[in-house]
Amino acid sequence: MAARLPAANSCLLASSSSSVNSQRRAAVRISAVAAPSIATGIATVVTAPKIAVQHTAPVSTAVSRATPALASVWREIQGCHDWESLVEPALNPLLREEIVRYGEFVVACYKAFDLEPSSKRYLNCKYGKKRMLREVGMPDAGYDVTKYIYATPDIAIPTQSGASCSRWIGYVAVSSDEESRRLGRRDILVSFRGTVTNTEWIANFMSSLTEARLDPHDPRPDVKVESGFLSLYTSDDSSSKFSSGSCRQQLLAEVSRLINQYKDEELSITLAGHSLGSSLALLCGYDLAELGLNRNGRNQRVPVTVYSFGGPRVGNPGFKERCEELGVKVLRVVNVNDPVTKLPGVIFNEGFRDLAERYELPWSCSCYAHVGVELSVDFFKMQNPVCVHDLDAYLGLLKCPKMVQVVKKDGVDFLTKTMELFDAWKWQDAAMQVGNLMQSLNI
């Protein structure tokens, strides 16, 4: 029997009857009191069309007097049913807590990243693996960092040290025995920071699709991803004193090692990232599933879940469909006013595809498409425009469960969608401005 989950406020989730092609939307108003850089705010929850999955029945929405322990419902919280009834009509409190928890692991990447050019650890992590989480204010996180991950932008822009080089992009960690008991499984976590350096911003805006070809035995030419993200994921800097191999090689080796180490336990693989980091998280999740590396000692598939914060589109519809076929679950947390989430593909995206299919217009697989279920927040009247892409602002709103009121919208007006489609041209310039602001502020 499926475990039972509560909804916000009344510990009750209303059932959802949306089909695979449903376009229903739900809105959640959230006060921005917890976000210091925002005067007021609104958060909107938008669920993407549901994907057909081969699992047991969805989580029951019957009344429960108490919130169930995470250990008993972790598969649902990790998206085994594409978060059906957990996002709408109200954001489930357990899911909220998990989103914030994984978001804080990403914040740790920013706090630990050394951006001081005179430092010996410039572009590296400030701390050793054993004390990193403690130094950034997470001594009770319940995870042990096992490996640091480095990425190399394949762009010839020298750093202040005189040459382009790899830089610390995130880390791999695994839940402790005590935390694993609370979670109901041993969790392998991969966390990525977002864009900070100039070369990484350029990687964000390359905006050209290329074949992923991550599986040498089945290249799948219909699966295409953004070239800048793929380059950052696969490029190698042989001169780096910190890393050995590309970001991809480091990740696949370490995650495989941990799966083998804990092969007889219940496992999950969780990837979390902000901005550019969310792109790397999705590429890694797809890569692990495509190569079949997410298998435990009993040859059972280990669930792969991506928590994306303020992430751009990563690939084409072929990439999206393949992720769904492989069972890679993606929960996208985005601010509707964040220009980075509109890129790449400001025009040729899933919205253009819907328009083309409705009016039988030609369209190409060169379009971009978001992957997964979307949880949208909408903050406005900002004291600082940079906060539209700020991870702390995202998490600040999500930490306000008592301020939630449900406002539901069924359907989307066609004219409105069309106007939004053509209005999207402005986002390219806006995103570059946000990038310049973030760079100047060392965000």
Active site residues: 275, 338, 389
Which string of b and e fits 401-421 if b means at least 16 CB within 10 Å? eebbebeeeeeeeeeeeeeeb
- The number of beta carbons lying within 10 Å of the beta carbon of residue 360 is 6
Round to whole Å and give the CA distance between 434 and 441.
Answer: 11
Q: Which residue has the tokens 């697989």?
A: 365
